[in-house]
Amino acid sequence: MRMRPVLAVASECAPLVKTGGLADVVGALPQAMAAQGWGIRTLIPGYPAVLAALSGARVVQEFPALLGQPARLLAARHGALDLLVLDAPALYARDGSPYLTPAGRDWPDNDLRFAALCRAGALIARDGIGKGKSRWRPEVVHLHDWQAALVPVYMRALGAGQPCILTIHNIAFHGLTAHTRLAALDLPEAEFTLDGFEYYGHISALKAGIAGARALSTVSPTYAQELTRPEFGMGLEGVIRARTSALHGILNGIDTGVWNPATDPAITPYTTPPGKAANKRALRTEFGLATRGAAARGPLCIVVARMSDQKGLDLLLDALPALTRRGGQLAMLGSGDRKLENAWLQAARDNPGAVGVRIGYDEGLAHRMFAGGDAVLVPSRFEPCGLTQLYGLRYGTLPVVARTGGLADTVIHANAAALAAGVATGITHRPDDAPALEFALAQLCALHDDRRLYTRLQRNAMKHPVGWEASAPRYAALYTRLADQPEPPR
């Protein structure tokens, strides 16, 4: 089958570089879209970890001065990924997180680092890769978050006419920089306007993408609606509202090959809820949690999350007694905000045998936690999609989630009607509300006391579709519409 060409542009791509769910989606979408006849090549920055992981990379283009920086473009395959890697040592040859200094602050030149990525994306869209008959040139350009959102501006300036789609994974991050940076970033002064990328006197990369991309998408239908409201739009709700006809809410999937309890090499594999028992024993030991008696009679809950205000982990601290007093336990893996890290380490000291905390990033441990847990807690204040509740469903680890964004779209609350109909898969509660979370934890403990009922819910959860089978055709329909229809007048 001839693949129709798409260029994706992103700052992260699993398994090469990941700080959150963005990387998983950017890493999984190409394989899902290949089955729909769309061949995605993914442009990412050449961070040291990316360059180290490449084998057989070829130089396909030189950029002597990309926004003033010497750079070259490498092409390589990595598993199912067809990568284009922007090798620009002055911008990306830095250790640690893609965005932060070792002291945990944004790199001061992040605007330039990701503007250069966008500039390269626009040049690839215009000129393609290779020569003659074998030249590859995208029909559609798919941008992810603010780091890729300046592409439409550069494409216009360079005369590249393909349609762009911008996927908003999290509107909390705008990519703001001072307007004095216009020249350094080679951005047109004429578009520094209310209708362009000006935002309260600053340059907003995300706004440039929202205004300039032909189509917008976000990662769940509920978040698509929430984005138009001030509580969630983070100051861009008006700009989004002006483009609602172009906005699509398409739910994320997960890589069901990597997240498969029947074959997961990190765990004792299982196909039914009772098969979780060995993993649960191992997890308790690993986190130093009680294994018998009243202290272990409740559900073993897990959390795997970035420790940021978004995730509501401060609310969970307040609600914790509602779990521990009923013999429930909590194993937490995360890192981020220092204050939250310390508060959780203190909670572990205050609740020996009931609460265990690991600060850090550990993919293998995350797998062991989903296999061993009875429930995964996701008390987010907002959550564009969320992936950990999807892993929870797949592993029979019942999600207890705030009713917001993709969490609301993926978990069926165990109310009386859903229980009677046999379709419940978890528990939902009002977001940003510690008493509501306490109530949800109490309900979890009550459900868990009824072993047969709990196992039935776990079976429901494990049957819930969480892959890309529903969403890949929706992206494909969008790509097709964009590629085949001329731009409608705005």
| Binding status of residue 202 toward ligand ADP by CB under 6 A | no
Contacts of 481 (CB under 8 A, 6+ apart): 215
Which pair of tokens denotes residue 145?
């978050």
Reduce the secondary structure of 353-403 to three states and give it as a string: CCEEEEECCCHHHHHHHHHHCCEEEECCCCCCCCCHHHHHHHCCCEEEEEC
Q: Cβ closer to ligand ADP: 376 or 414?
A: 376
Among 21, 45, 273, 426, binds ligand GLC (CB under 6 A): 21
Residues 164-193, mask of contacts with ligand GLC (x by CB under 6 A): -----xx-----------------------
How many alpha carbons lie under 13 Å from residue 77 in its C-beta half-sphere? 4
304 interacts with ligand ADP by CB under 6 A = yes
Give, as ranges, the residues between 8 and 67 that touch ligand ADP (CB under 6 A): 20-22, 24
| Smallest distance from ligand ADP to CB 173, Å | 10
SS (H, E, C) 437-470: HHHHHHHHHHHHHCHHHHHHHHHHHHHCCCCCCC
Among the residue ranges 94-102, 109-117, 260-268, 333-341, the one whose residues contact ligand ADP (CB under 6 A): 333-341
Choosing among ligand GLC, ligand ADP, none, which partner's interface includes residue 460 (Cβ < 5 to 8 Å by kind)?
none
Asked if residue 84 binds ligand ADP (CB under 6 A), the reply is no
Which residues lie across from 247 on neighbouring strands?
A: 216
Per-residue x/- track, 372-391, ligand GLC (CB under 6 A): -----------xxxxx----
Supply the minimum distance, in Å, between the C-beta of residue 81 and ligand GLC: 17
Q: Rule CB under 6 A: is residue 361 a binding residue for ligand ADP?
A: yes
State residue 129 phi and psi, 5-degree precision.
Answer: -125, 135
Task: Name which position in 15, 20, 39, 269 contacts ligand GLC (CB under 6 A).
Answer: 20
Burial of 370 (C-beta count, 10 Å sphere; 0-12/13-18/19+)? buried
Is position 327 an interface residue for ligand ADP (rule: CB under 6 A)? Answer: no
Dihedral of alpha carbons 117, 118, 119, 122, sign: positive
431 part of the interface to ligand ADP, by CB under 6 A: no
87 binds, among ligand GLC, ligand ADP, none (CB under 5 to 8 A by kind): none
**Residue 219 binds which entry of ligand GLC, ligand ADP, none, CB below 5-8 Å type-dependent:** ligand GLC
- DSSP state, residue 153: H
Cis bond before residue 152 (omega within 30° of 0): no
- 361 contact choice in ligand GLC, ligand ADP, none (CB below 5 to 8 Å, kind-dependent): ligand ADP
State how far the Cα of 247 lies from the Cα of 242, in Å rounded to an integer. Answer: 10
How many residues touch ligand ADP under the rule CB under 6 A: the total is 18
CB of residue 220 to ligand ADP, shortest distance in Å: 10
Show Cβ contacts of residue 205 under 8 Å, excluding neighbours closer than 6 positions. 111, 114, 115, 118, 146, 147, 149, 150, 174, 175, 176, 177, 197
Q: Alpha-carbon distance 325 to 171, whole Å? A: 37
- Is 298 a binding residue for ligand GLC by CB under 6 A? The answer is no
Q: Which residues bind ligand GLC (CB under 6 A)?
A: 20-22, 25, 169-170, 219, 252, 383-387
Q: Which residues bind ligand ADP (CB under 6 A)?
A: 20-22, 24, 304-306, 333-335, 361-363, 366, 385-388
